Structure 1
């Protein structure tokens, strides 16, 4: 694409037409987003398939709900410890090498889960999975800031994160089918096949990403010189980054209390979200569904609806250049949907409808949150800031499955756990509304204080 327009001496250069700019970003998106979506789908499956595997593991290995809850959560301890170093390394060595390291290692560990026999082995491998997967998600969020200005980033983050919801759609039927139909094949249990079949593709995709992706626009041979300059110009003149340039150094960013408030919001949000992710199969089973394949199919329906909901909400947020109220509305929708599920126990159709409503809000909230985060952080502090907020937030996901598992085990019902999850969602929305205000006049999103 040639963006050069002849002009008279002394006049300003003509700006590229909006249609040409849109076409350029469409070209970029079709090149990098599909592979990132596939990688995240595999990452998400490897992270959550324990929710389905435990339906068989607890019977064969005699794992209690408490053991399972702790093992599900300990993943995030390893994730927390290594996330910031991984993102700082990505900024230095690039996304390609980082994804190669992360995905090859986590794929091997995910597959090794098939050999678990004791709670200790379960804990160790879940911890190592978190160690090796650390940096993948915040690394991709950082990677998107290398290509997209803030005005286009909300929808792209939503599309990327739709991978998790799409993975939720296929996770149910895929996990249920593997455990049901491969159980006993070659002397392996269904849950063992589950870890093997879903783990090894991550290692293959890591190698593919290394050879297919480019670290930054200037490295892309499939872009013309003019296209590279236009992309870089849009990033350099991004009003969000210009307005947030108060973080003149990494140290200033680390001393910014508002960064830790954002981490608290993510702590609450992720704690609630992963509680739902891990316990949805058990929740559906409590509605009277016993067949593993049917549990998987029923779990897919809310996720499918959530895919469309999160993309539409992300697009609406970009169109109106507004994040905070979209986030608050999303978590309120999540809490309302979960509240309805507690009132519809015993009615499968009504419970699934309520859960679908909740999943729309759950799916939309996280990309909105990270759009706010990338708009607040400066370019200097983005790598460490995104990783720091993400890693601290992941402690919520480490704690919540164990807490809700203990509540469910003590009460014999998942309903009381749902009350806690609803409170976490609502609190995250209230804190973000209080801590972050819109500053359209300044062209930025700033924290109050």
Structure 2
């Protein structure tokens, strides 16, 4: 709709120049039109990214289910398995920032397609390892080729979604991570059980092949389907495209004025390192639970592999619900600090209570579910904070560094849980350690200086 004067605009409407850029008329985007635009962008971008993220985390985390057969076949104890699970993150950490620098150079769509294609190849290749050492090498290589996927996706979303819609968009995409743990667990268990010894391959090897191959196809699809930024979106009307370009440019300029817009500034910004430490503490709790959960359940119960798969999904179903609800309320109120801190308090209490009640399997598992809701519920809110002070190349580098620092959690959490279990023969001490880490995250989150989101509230 076009108006000759801004006074004719409905309350909350956004103005942009007309499609021809003459500046003689104002194009008004009403609140309803803005919602329709965001809905169109969401349906265009989110489904493909959601599926890619789902496969990404499935390929990364399925080693937890592979362990139910793989450990015995390869002759691996708890410490060796913990090291194999964690070494992925060494490659991930080392190549995270370089990968995002290349992403900023070649474009998010091209680089994301490359990441998907190569991680699919490596994931399939893991089916053919014969020794623990070969597994270590394959996991390390998987971390190298996957490096940059997570922050590249977040950077990509921050190019398309205004601040008042970003939390919801991140939660929609990030929920793929959790969905992979919800339905990925039964899928992995089904493949391991049903395909075991088919063609002379163990079930866990078939799992690697069947869960890795889709990433190769997704890489090809992404290369031809994704566009880098709103200015290239021919599927938007000129008015919608101009409004989105100008809105995002304004927000990025504001972020650059408040913080860092170059790689160098982002990599030396204290706030980036603080957020990296915070996310690392959250990650220790998350990876410690998600990697070992199938074996925790096996120790607490006498369930079959298939039954473990379904039970393992329960904590992450609750986590997905908590994450989406927390993100939506945070967007609506434009408040980040206490939505993040409150979730982490719940996570801390749940882990500590689970350790305290470890002699009562059902009660202990109930508290693990509560912990998962708290920890997972914090994740999407956390990732709305970096775009408030990072922009352009600084956003690409800063988010990569935050994720790289948190990658230390991915290495140390599975390994240290394995060490604790090998020494004590149960998970009680490990659960206390995970609770302590998330408690540190609570303190850091409570004092974040960049916790207030930009922009008007989202209705």
Task: Report the TM-score, using the length of structure 1 for normalisation.
Answer: 0.93
Q: Which moved more, 1:101-110 or 1:362-371?
A: 362-371
Q: Which moved more, 1:251-260 or 1:104-113?
A: 251-260
**Residue of structure 2 in register with 1:286 after alignment:** 299
**Residue of structure 1 in register with 2:447 after alignment:** 434
Specify which of 129, 146, 153 is matched with residue 159 of structure 2: 146
Give the distance between the partners of 1:316 and 1:96, measured in 2 at CA: 30
**Residue of structure 1 in register with 2:354 after alignment:** 341
Give the distance between the partners of 1:189 and 1:344, measured in 2 at CA: 36
Preserved contact between residue 108 and residue 199 of structure 1 (Cα < 8 Å): yes
Specify which of 241, 251, 266 is matched with residue 238 of structure 1: 251
Shift in alpha-carbon separation, 1:12–1:282, aligned structure 2, 3 A: same
Task: Report the TM-score, using the length of structure 2 for normalisation.
Answer: 0.91
Specify which of 275, 280, 290 is matched with residue 277 of structure 1: 290
How much is the aligned-residue C-alpha RMSD, in angstroms?
2.2
Shift in alpha-carbon separation, 1:346–1:110, aligned structure 2, 3 A: same
Q: Does 1:134 align with 2:132?
A: no
**Residue of structure 2 in register with 1:447 after alignment:** none
Give secondary structure in 1 for the equivalent of 2:161.
coil
Q: Does 1:6 align with 2:4?
A: yes
Give the distance between the partners of 2:261 and 2:155, measured in 1 at CA: 18
Distance apart, 1:356 and its partner CA: 2.0
**Residue of structure 1 in register with 2:412 after alignment:** 399
Displaced runs of 4 or more, over 6 A: 8-12
Q: Does 1:31 align with 2:44?
A: yes
User: Residue deviations 1:135-180, cap 9 Å, x none?
Assistant: 1110000000110111111111111100011111112211111111
Preserved contact between residue 78 and residue 422 of structure 2 (Cα < 8 Å): yes
Specify which of 257, 262, 266 is matched with residue 253 of structure 1: 266
**Residue of structure 1 in register with 2:394 after alignment:** 381
Preserved contact between residue 288 and residue 346 of structure 1 (Cα < 8 Å): no
Aligned residues: 441
Give the distance between the partners of 1:365 and 1:439, measured in 2 at CA: 15
Spell out the pairing of 1:81-230 with structure 2 (5 A cutoff). Answer: 81-230=94-243
Give secondary structure in 2 for the equivalent of 1:371.
coil
Give the distance between the partners of 1:92 and 1:245, measured in 2 at CA: 24
Preserved contact between residue 106 and residue 132 of structure 1 (Cα < 8 Å): yes
Give the distance between the partners of 1:327 and 1:246, measured in 2 at CA: 21
- List gaps (5 residues or longer) in structure 2: 8-22
Preserved contact between residue 261 and residue 392 of structure 2 (Cα < 8 Å): no
Give secondary structure in 1 for the equivalent of 2:4.
coil
- List gaps (5 residues or longer) in structure 1: 445-449
Give the distance between the partners of 2:176 and 2:275, measured in 1 at CA: 23
Distance apart, 1:239 and its partner CA: 8.0
Give the distance between the partners of 1:140 and 1:246, measured in 2 at CA: 21
Give the distance between the partners of 2:357 and 2:235, measured in 1 at CA: 53
Give secondary structure in 2 for the equivalent of 1:381.
helix
